[in-house]
Structure 1
């Protein structure tokens, strides 16, 4: 199973939807709450090539993007292969 990391904020509906999709697939993930750890925001932006909105999702070290991008991978049937890598 690929290592999954997700940068979030507690009040973010898109974060909730992305985590719910991962949980529905029994995928464990490391969550970084940038509200509780504001010093990690700069790290997120750098890793996400300038992406400053949440969520920012990484699978196996590869930047996937946000919630819409994760959902698009699922609709295209590509998410399971990424998670299995």
Structure 2
């Protein structure tokens, strides 16, 4: 299923050793269905999996929204940043 995402990586400003692959960094954003006619409810993502075109993936939880567009909170390292 194709989606459009808008995500950001957040670092802990109190740490000098932040890394993109660090489990203490967090990522969040939104996910929107490309084809809203699909019989899919994104809000049921508990957890969902965000898989990048190169195969990297990570779990996320839907935090708010509707059937076709939800906010998300990432679980684990961000899949969109090289480790």
Indicate whether the TM-score tops 0.5: no
Higher relative contact order (CA 8 A, sep 6+): 1
Q: Which has the higher helix share?
A: 1
Output the TM-score relative to the length of structure 1.
0.25
Q: Which has the higher strand share?
A: 2
Q: Which has the larger radius of gyration?
A: 2
Output the TM-score relative to the length of structure 2.
0.25
